[in-house]
Amino acid sequence: MKSDKHVTPAVPEKLAEHFELYRDYVKHEDELINRRLTWLLTVQGFLFAAYGLTNQGYSASSSAASFAINPMKDFAGSLPHIFASVDLLVGILAFLGVLAAQVSVWAL
């Protein structure tokens, strides 16, 4: 008489422990990638808003017909370039962080 139970092969405990260790490591790296991308998108949003506000303020002040000396005009004119540079730096650093996490997972 045959039994209807499906017999699964026994997995050695050491192999199961290694699997759990690798699984936890990959989960940890995925969580780090998630955090890095979340911070990247948050910083991108703030810098994009600051860039838009700076351009709006700069264009409003440059279109006014006043010839008064404004010492902040040069600084305000360079702010979009500063925001773009910081944005590029944050993007590169986030890319390198995600790449490092992926390389460490691939090295397993």
What was the pLDDT predicted at 9?
A: 60
What was the pLDDT predicted at 6?
A: 65
Beta strand segments in 1-108, E: none
**pLDDT, averaged across the chain:** 79
Spatial distance between the Cα atoms of 29 and 102, rounded to a whole number of angstroms: 8
Encoded amino acid at 71, one letter: P
Residue 55 — very low, low, confident or very high, per pLDDT cuts 50/70/90?
Answer: confident
Spatial distance between the Cα atoms of 108 and 21, rounded to a whole number of angstroms: 11
What was the pLDDT predicted at 16?
A: 82
Q: What is the pLDDT of residues 11-25, one digit of tens each?
A: 677 888 888 888 999
Closest CA to 58 of 76, 74, 81: 76
Mean predicted confidence (pLDDT) in 56-61: 60
Closest CA to 93 of 44, 29, 58: 44
